[in-house]
Amino acid sequence: MYHYRVDFTPVVDETKVRLKLMRQFRGTDGFGNFIFDGHSLWKTSPLAENLLTQVAKLEGDTTEHRITIKLVSGVAPGDPQYLQLYNNVTRACLRILKLCSMGRNYFDPNAEVVLPQYRLKLWPGFVTTVSQHLHYAYFAYYPTRHAY
């Protein structure tokens, strides 16, 4: 696994905008598939160069963003940085399931349970934890709910 740092010029503060800019390169020659969390890019195969510069534009915007991608390191299984990757994969899966994040927890607004007698609404969801336990990664998903 290869870990890259991604910088944007001009600086882009919003993670959603960073994700949109990087999504333009998914599946293209030289890039292939990758996982990107807004700052770090993860790939199973190395990019052609250790320092790569790309230019991207948002739809309907004339601003050109220069994206610099720099190799940080190769990451071996069992390395503590793998936990960051596991967290990113977990978040991506929960987004695919269309769960909303609130803090570190994820909830399903489409499965809302309404309790009119208590003037209460409940969203079912999960508390997720990925951590190191002895020599192995520990994944825990606890059911929870959000009341409002």
Ramachandran angles phi, psi of 75, nearest 5°:
-120, 125
Asked whether 50 and 71 are in contact (CB, 8 A), the reply is yes
Q: Are residues 143 and 103 in the same domain?
A: yes
**Alpha carbon distance 58, 66 (integer Å):** 12
Looking up tokens 């030289």 gives: 30
Average pLDDT over residues 111-140: 88
Q: Are residues 46 and 69 in the same domain?
A: yes
Q: Are residues 56 and 106 in the same domain?
A: no
**By residue range, what is the domain housing residue 31?**
2-74
Q: Are residues 23 and 6 in the same domain?
A: yes
Q: Are residues 118 and 90 in the same domain?
A: yes
Boundary (domain end) residue, out of 74, 109, 133: 74
> What percentage of the chain reaches a pLDDT higher than 90?
24
17: buried, middle or exposed (CB in 10 Å: 19+, 13-18, 0-12)? middle
Q: What pTM does this model have?
A: 0.72
Boundary (domain end) residue, out of 50, 74, 98: 74
Q: Are residues 69 and 92 in the same domain?
A: no
The one-letter amino acid code at 68 reads T
Task: Tell me the per-residue pLDDT of 48-106, one tens digit each, with 9 for 90 and over.
Answer: 888 888 888 888 888 899 999 999 988 887 787 888 888 888 888 888 889 988 888 89
pLDDT value for 65: 92
Counted domains in the chain: 2
**Alpha carbon distance 59, 73 (integer Å):** 32
Looking up tokens 């969390």 gives: 37
- pLDDT tier for residue 28 given thresholds of 50, 70 and 90: confident
